[in-house]
Amino acid sequence: MKSALEQLGGASGGSLPDVVFEAPRATAPRRVSAVRRSASSAPETPEEPSWSRKVLGFLSQLRLADVLVGISLLVLAFVLSCACVPSLIAPFLPTDMRSDAILVAPGAAHFFGTDQFGRDVFTLVVYGARQSLLIGVFAVLISCGVGVSIGLTAGYAGGWIDTILMRFIDVWMAIPAILLAIALSTVLGPSLHNTILAVSVAAIPRYARVLRGQARSVRSRPFIEASRAAGASHWAILRRHVLPHCSVQILVMATLGVGGSILVGSGLSFLGLGVNDERPDWGYLLTQGRSYLTVAWWTVTYPGLAITALVVSVNLLGDALRRRFDPRSAPR
C-alpha cells in the first residue's frame, strides 16, 4: 500500500512547483552605510568669523552719511579741545614773536609755518578756535532765544499781535544779515561782545519766521483745545504743549545756525570789525595774512581751512539731526 505522500504525488502528476527559499539579505551593512551617509551629509557647524571679517561686515553696512558724521564729530571734538585747553595742544604762546623765524615755511619746527611777526601759525589757529566757537554758540543762543519767543507769541496769539510782529519781522528780513551785522559792528566798535551781539541780531528774523508757522500749526490741534477747556493759562499752554512740539525744529535750526554765525563773525573780523586782540579769531588771521599771500600762502590757507572744516562739520551734524528727527527727509 502506497504511502499517502506517494498517492498525493501520483494524483498531482508530479507537477508540484519547486519552492525556493532565499536566504535573508544582510541589512546591517545598509544601516551602517545609511548612518555613515547621514553623518557625512549633516551640515557642519559654521566657524566663528574672524575679527577681520567682522570689521569688513561692519564697514560694508556703513553709509557715506554715517562716515561723514563720524568725521565731523572728530573735527568738532578737536576744535572743542583747542578752545578749552589750547595750552596743552599749541607748542607756543600766541604772543611769542621770533625775529629769526619770520615767514618760515611749514616744517617740523612749525607745523603751519610762521607769519610776518614770527608767530607760530598753528598756535594762532589753536588759540583762535575759542573766539570762533564763542561767537557761533552765543550768537545762536541769543538769536534763538529772542526769535523763538517772537515766533511762538505771534503764531499762538494770532490776530493783530501776529500782524504787527510779522510785519516788523518782514522789514527786519529785508535787510541782508551780513549788512546789518556790519552796520551794528561799525556803530558798536570791534570787540568780542559786540561781534556776538551783531551776529545774533542779524539772525533773529529767521528763527521768528519758522517758529511762527510751527506754532500756528500746533495751536489748532485737539489737545490745545482740551487744555484751554481745562482752564490752563496761555503761558502754561505755550510752555507745556507748544514749545515741546517745536523743539525738533529749534534743535536743527540752532545746529545749522552755529556754522552761519561763525562765517558771519569771521567775515566781520576779516573786515576789521570783529575780535582784535592778542588772541585773534580765524577771520582776523585771514586779514593779517592776505598781504603775504603770494610769498607765504600758509598764513591764509590754514586759518581758512580751519573755518571751512568747522563750518562743514557743524552743517553735517545739523543735516544728520534733521534726517533723524524729520520724517519727510528720511530716505525712501
pLDDT digit string, tens, across residues 214-258:
888 888 788 887 887 887 787 888 888 888 888 888 888 898 899
C-alpha cell at 100: 629769526
- Report the pLDDT value the prediction gives residue 261, as an integer from 0 to 100: 92
**Alpha helices, DSSP H, located in 4-118:** 4-12, 28-41, 51-61, 64-84
**How far is residue 215's CA from residue 153's CA, in Å, rounded to a whole number?**
8
At position 284, the amino acid (one-letter code) is: Y
Q: Which residue has the cell 514749545?
A: 243
76 touches 314 (CB < 8 A)? yes
Q: Which residue has the cell 610776518?
A: 116
- Report the pLDDT value the prediction gives residue 127, as an integer from 0 to 100: 92
**How far is residue 231's CA from residue 217's CA, in Å, rounded to a whole number?**
21
129 touches 90 (CB < 8 A)? no
Q: What string of H, E and C letters represents the secondary structure of 178-205?
A: HHHHHHHHHHHCCCHHHHHHHHHHHHHH
Question: Residue 121's Cα: distance from chain center in Å?
Answer: 29
115 touches 103 (CB < 8 A)? yes
Question: Residue 9's Cα: distance from chain center in Å?
Answer: 107
Residue 198: burial class (beta carbons within 10 Å; 0-12, 13-18, 19+): buried
Q: What letter does residue 120 receive in the DSSP assignment?
A: B
3-state secondary structure of 114: strand
How does 178-191 read in b/e, with b if 16+ C-beta sit within 10 Å?
eebbbebbeeeebe
Domains in the chain: boundaries: 64-98+105-329
- Report the pLDDT value the prediction gives residue 191, as an integer from 0 to 100: 87
**Alpha helices, DSSP H, located in 42-176:** 51-61, 64-84, 121-157, 159-174
User: Where does 64-98+105-329 sit in CATH, by number?
Assistant: 1.10.3720.10
Listed as ranges, residues in the chain with pLDDT below 50 are: 1-21, 23, 26-29, 32, 34-35, 38-40, 42, 45, 332
For residue 22, how many other CB atoms are within 10 A of its CB? 5
Q: Alpha-carbon torsion 176, 321, 66, 51, what sign?
A: positive
Tens digits of residue pLDDT in 261-279? 999 999 998 888 887 777 7
pTM, two decimals, is 0.75
Question: Residue 180's Cα: distance from chain center in Å?
Answer: 30
**How far is residue 125's CA from residue 21's CA, in Å, rounded to a whole number?**
105
C-alpha cell at 292: 603775504
